[in-house]
Structure 1
Amino acid sequence: MSHHSPPKNQIRELIEEINQWAIANGLAMYPPNFEANPSNASVSPVTIYPTPIPKRCFDEAVEIQPVFNELYARLAQDMAHPDSLLHKTTEALALSDPEFTGKLWSLYLKILKDVQKKRQTFKLGIFRSDYLIDKKNGSEQIKQVEFNTVSVSFAGLSEKVDRLHAYLNKANKYDLKGPFYNEQNMVISDSGYLLSMALAKAVESYTSQQISSTSSDPIVAFIVQRNERNVFDQKILELNLLEKFGIKSVRLTFDDVHDKMFTDNETGKLFVKDAEQEVAVVYYRTGYTTTDYTSEKDWEARLFLEKSFAIKAPDLLTQLSGSKKIQQLLTNKSVLGKYTCNPKKRDSLLKTFVKIYPLDDTELGREGKRLAFSDPSKYVLKPQREGGGNNVYKENIPNFLKGIEERHWDAYILMELIEPELNENNVILRDNKSYEEPIISELGVYGCILFDDKQVLMNEFSGSLLRSKFNTSNEGGVAAGFGCLDSIILY
């Protein structure tokens, strides 16, 4: 496919089409401070055209996702063993990041002490692996930016923006003479359906455990942020659960957990009070950063949920396996080899990694510290947590590190910057304004795995996502206000 872009003369007409399609199809978010008028939503920030991605890179990302799913399931299991590398690593991390990793770890230790009734062994991982396509060595190679193990978003809206672009193409809105793109090359993600299917499979496996009579229709509890703006993305999963799988769900904040839930003392089963509905799966769409926990009460709510017999998506250890520190450890071939027995699989994972250094007192850590000061322009400094907005780039790294005590440096990793191709032919639409600036695009691939210590019940690729941002913006969060949703055209 040629990289030339559609005629730009009808941008105004396209914007009108996009706004109307988006509102007709729920490609929407709440604006800031929507609480005063919840009937007022706005069209999600999107690109006007799809973005070209090499088919070879896309196929590689899809193919490798189940390998990543399995890897992270193994990491979570290994972390439970007190003598394992991951247990010790997370313990150390808990000390250097006491506000967040430390809190999650202490909840995990409390649960261990609590010799309670039957414990839920199944865990559901709903993951997303994010890549940039690196052009450094003249050939294109997907390089992993991060692996997200909790509260991955945009599965619902991703399939909408794919369908939006497919519609504009099919309806000759890009080019009046006929479809501009070959439809075969447009990727239509089924992520909204596939994530709800994974939740449904978890409900099914919960029901089959039958520890005393399970109520007829156990439900999924979505644990959400207060005043969540990205609610429609989540709603798509809720609607799918009901319409396609006959499973009801409920949306609860950490406040609601205290007010509206209880557990059965005998079985540890979790219920929503008024309706006496049994909860099969606790699905976190919050809880991935310190600001999600506004007080000690929120941490108590998390502990209460984790202790219950419901299946967690994810549980504490699965969430903790997604730390940047563990991502850094995995770039070591022999460490990775411990968790991926098949050498071919191991090498296919290694190919997607860039160099990542700790900033501790190991040999590699000392090298990391040296590079942070001598050659910062090739690196990004990342803290041990999710959620965007926390990274320090290039020339800003030395002063940032000088501003904090060296003993806290090991709460960060130094990661080699990926050099993706700029797309100069797309246009970003945000709040009805169009912006023609070069963009870079990040490919996200969803994967779901249902597992316990003995078996994997399901391990699947679950759709894709493309997010783009201005080349001038270092952070790519769509909800955070820097990025937008995009779709993929393969070439």
Structure 2
Amino acid sequence: MSIPQLSQVQEDDLVHALHHYALSNGLVMYPVGFKPHSPVAAPVTLYPTPFPQQAFEKAQMVQEKFNELYAKVSSDVEWLSAVLDSFAQFDAGFTGKLWESYKKAKEIGIKQNVSLGVFRSDYMLDHDQIKQVEFNTVSVSFGGLSSKVGDLHKYLNDSGYYTSSASRFYPDETIPVSESSVKLADGLADGVKHYNKSQGTKDTVVLVIVQEGERNVFDQRHLEYSLLKNHGIVSRRITLHELTDKTRVGHDRRLFLNSTDEEVSVVYFRSGYAPTDFKTDQDWTNRVTLETTLAIKAPSLLTQLSGAKKIQQILTDEKVLSRFIKSDVSELVSTFVKIYPLDGSDLGKEAKRLAFESPEEYVLKPQREGGGNNIYKEDIPGFLRSIPEDEWQGYILMQLIHPPLNKNKLVREGEVFTDEIVSELGRFGTILFDQSTGEVIKNSDAGWLLRSKFSNSNEGGVAAGFGCVDGVVLQ
């Protein structure tokens, strides 16, 4: 599908309308070095990007089963412990510390068995089939802005900005709008309502743990506004470091805010996914404190750890998969690409050979979230040679996915860039479950996200500066 062909004057009018809509409707983020009163329009595509409808629907179809899979994994402490004990040492500064934090929390006593998963499964297209890039179990982003960019593209199309004749360029039914800002808030509300019912409380709040100087704050705020508007539930925001001064824990491990005396029913992490979120030993202590409170965590430490890249690699083995999912797993397996360990096993030895003999077909991934951590293609051999071989086990080698290229235009801070782009579809899901028994209390799909980047950019993190938020036009 081609993009609209407009004159420069018409494109200028289109960009002008895009900025007005984005700023009027909260499709914004803070720039680097921001002041609180000065957000800018979020980086977006000028036009929605083509995506096969069948593949789009497949991602929705498998989301609840993926939710269940990772809930079951994080509930199987014996299996997860064996895996984490063997590989956490290879990322001792982060994965290892998360694992040690869980052990400390368990020693103190974990009072809340119910966990809330707020997940996102990311895919790229390969020959019109979705292939899973990764499964994210903590601080999944852009559920708020995804709804806004769909609304933006639909507005521009409905208003005739995509044609010289002021008519629609795309059939209206081909531009879906994600319900993620509403459905993710619904998932948080499930946690609050379960807590209130089980504890005999009311008017409890969601405590959002945020990064200091967060630039993507409006994406988060849209979920908070939906939570208040649709469920009457208030959110409060603090950093992990502020926990000591701004909260207190009662004798029964209930968590309260000092300033308002409000009880916290759900702790929702929008930070804590990278080592930089833990600047001091006190921050790690605070994470353990939260884990031992009565509040429901989104996610708990075990749920967060279940999203490690090593776990993703192990779950591509159908025999392992069948341990957790008793029904047919073929639809999940069809989304997998080959992922190898870099250990002393036969599979690991094969991975080491591939990393040096055909690195152009692979990406090397560490146990880290966020943009800028992966090693691509020809850079892999040199990187591996630069670190001790016993550290290689902290990485997985993943077969590269070859997505189609689409022509589009990206708008970032007032500038328009034209190039071929590649896109990544994220499918959100929420699941409330009892981690002590594996019982699923509520399991829901929660909308979608499309992110795009220039085809010559390896990383796609929007807040990290590599990509943009996109919308879909179904084919």
Give the TM-score taking structure 2 as reference length: 0.98
Aligned AA (1:438): E
Partner of 2:48: 50
Partner of 2:114: 122
Q: Map residues 294-443 of structure 1 onto 2, 5 A cutoff.
A: 294-343=279-328, 346-424=329-407, 426-443=408-425
What's the CA shift string for 1:78-129, capped at 9, x where partnerless? 1x22xx2x3211112221110001000001101111147xx11111000000
Query: How far apart, CA to CA, are the structure 1 residues paired with 2:244 and 2:5?
Result: 56
Alignment of 1:229 onto 2:210: no
How far apart, in 2, do the equivalents of 1:61 and 1:260 lie?
40
Greater displacement, 186-195 / 9-18: 9-18
Match of 1:67 among 62, 65, 68: 65
Q: Is the 8 A contact 2:59 2:130 kept in 1?
A: yes
User: Secondary structure of the equivalent of 1:8?
Assistant: coil
Q: Residue by residue, what CA displacement relative to the aligned partner does 1:136-162 show, whole Å, maximum 9, x if unpaired?
A: xxxx21000000000000000000000
SS of aligned partner of 2:311: helix
Residue 101 of structure 2 is aligned to residue 96 of structure 1: no
147, 166, 179: which is aligned to 2:168?
179
Cα deviation for residue 454 of structure 1 reads: 5.0
CA offset at residue 356 of structure 1?
0.4
SS at match of 2:419: coil
Q: Is 1:451 the equivalent of 2:439? A: no
1:483 equivalent in alignment to 2:467: yes
Q: Following the alignment from structure 1 to structure 2, what is the Cα–Cα distance between the partners of residues 121 and 153?
A: 25
The C-alpha deviation readout for 1:36-72, integer Å capped at 9, x for no partner, is x210011000000000000010000000000100000
How far has the Cα of 1:241 moved from its partner? 1.2
Query: Residue 30 of structure 1 aligns to which amino acid in structure 2?
Result: Y
Letter paired with 1:351: S
Unaligned runs of 5+ in 2: none
CA displacement 1:266-290 (0-9 Å, x = unmatched):
x110000121110000000000011
Question: In structure 1, how many angstroms separate the alpha carbons of the residues matched to 2:385 and 2:5?
Answer: 50
SS of residue paired to 1:258: helix
Aligned to 2:20: 20
- Secondary structure class of the residue paired with 1:40: coil
Q: Does residue 1:167 correspond to 2:155, yes or no?
A: yes
| 2:426 paired with 1:468 | no
In the other structure, the counterpart of 1:252 is: 238
Q: Structure 1 segments of 4 or more deviating over 3 A?
A: none
Equivalent runs, 1:127-276 vs 2, <5 Å: 127-135=119-127, 140-177=128-165, 178-210=167-199, 214=201, 216-265=202-251, 267-276=252-261
User: Structure 1 CA distance, aligned partners of 2:227 and 2:55?
Assistant: 31
2:395 and 2:405 map into 1 onto residues whose CA distance is 28
Distance verdict in 2 for CA 1:115–1:234, change over 3 Å: closer
Give 1:151's aligned amino acid.
S
Q: Is the 8 A contact 2:120 2:428 kept in 1?
A: yes
Structure 1, gaps ≥5 residues long: none
Verify the 8 A CA contact 2:109 2:292 in the aligned structure 1: no
Query: Alpha-carbon deviation of 1:455?
Result: 2.2
Q: State the number of aligned residues.
A: 470
Cα RMSD, aligned residues only? 0.9
Aligned partner of residue 242 in structure 2, secondary structure: helix
Query: How far, CA to CA, are the matches of 1:250 and 1:339 in structure 2?
Result: 35
Instruction: Supply the distance in 1 between the matched residues of 2:377 and 2:228 (Cα, whole angstroms).
Output: 47
Please list the CA deviations of residues 284-323 of structure 1 after superposition, one character each: whole Å capped at 9, or x if unmatched. Answer: 0000011111111111111111110000000000000001
Distance 1:179 1:445, change over 3 A: same
CA distance in 1, matches of 2:106, 2:237: 28
SS of structure 1 residue aligned to 2:69? helix
| Higher deviation after alignment, 346-355 or 107-116 | 107-116
Q: CA deviation at 1:176?
A: 3.8
Amino acid at match of 1:405: P
Which residue identity is paired with 1:154?
A: F
**Which letter maps to 2:249?**
T
SS of 1:436's equivalent?
strand
| 1:448-470 C-alpha deviation (Å, 9 max, x unpaired) | 00000252121111000000000
Identity rate of aligned residues, in percent? 50
Whole-angstrom distance in 2 between the partners of 1:176 and 1:197: 41
